[in-house]
Amino acid sequence: MMRVDLKAARKKWIEEVKKPEEKTEREQSDFLKYQDSRGLFADFHSNRHTFITNLERVGVSPRRAQSLARHSDIPLTMGVYTHIGLHDQSVAIEMLPAPPEIKNSSKGSANGKVNGSSPAVPDLGAAWAKLPEKVKAEIVAMVNGAGKT
């Protein structure tokens, strides 16, 4: 099935160009070939990995991805077929809300209180404690890796 589909797609891709030199260049390339010049094959199984990883990237629930993959259990879907790279981790971190700002006021008294109340200071320790262990480990690994050159 993949061979037939790739062959049809490649034929259309080559035929869509008007310039003879570009057509020759496309005919000599490996693009959309079932097997490339290095001996590597288009692999249906790899397509499953890509498909399921892309489901995760667009926010499809693990259970729905499991159903679409026709897997018997979620660990197979999420642990084997879903691939999370550094870019994916960066996108997840960027989705987090910004930390709250600490607003200083010149109206405060010597004890740091503003109008008789304590200033709003976020409890970062409590926020850290609420994070899942896996997320904490990934953040620590990223921070430790950031200082290396």
pLDDT of residue 127: 81
C-alpha 137/C-alpha 2 separation (Å) is 40
In a domain, 118, yes or no: yes
Nearest to 125 by CA among 141, 114, 137, 136: 136
Residue with tokens 């990883």: 53
pLDDT tens digits for range 38-89: 988 888 888 899 999 999 999 999 999 999 999 999 999 999 999 999 988 9
In a domain, 143, yes or no: yes
Domain ranges, residue 105: 87-149
pTM reported for the whole predicted model: 0.47
State the CB neighbour count (10 A cutoff) for residue 44. 9
In a domain, 44, yes or no: no
| 41 phi/psi in degrees, rounded to 5 | -110, 150
pLDDT of residue 77: 94
In a domain, 133, yes or no: yes
pLDDT tens digits for range 3-26: 899 999 999 999 999 999 999 999
Q: For residue 149, what pLDDT band results from cuts at 50, 70 and 90?
A: very low
In a domain, 23, yes or no: no
In a domain, 117, yes or no: yes
pLDDT tens digits for range 113-136: 545 555 556 677 788 888 888 888
- Number of structural domains the chain divides into: 1
In a domain, 136, yes or no: yes
C-alpha 64/C-alpha 10 separation (Å) is 32
C-alpha 6/C-alpha 32 separation (Å) is 6
Enumerate long-range contacts of 88-91, CB under 8 Å, 24 or more apart. 88/57, 89/138, 89/142
pLDDT of residue 147: 53
pLDDT of residue 136: 85
Residues 70, 75, 80, 81: what is their CA dihedral angle, to the nearest 10 degrees?
40
How much of the chain is helix, strand and coil, in % rounded to 5? 55, 5, 40
pLDDT of residue 75: 95
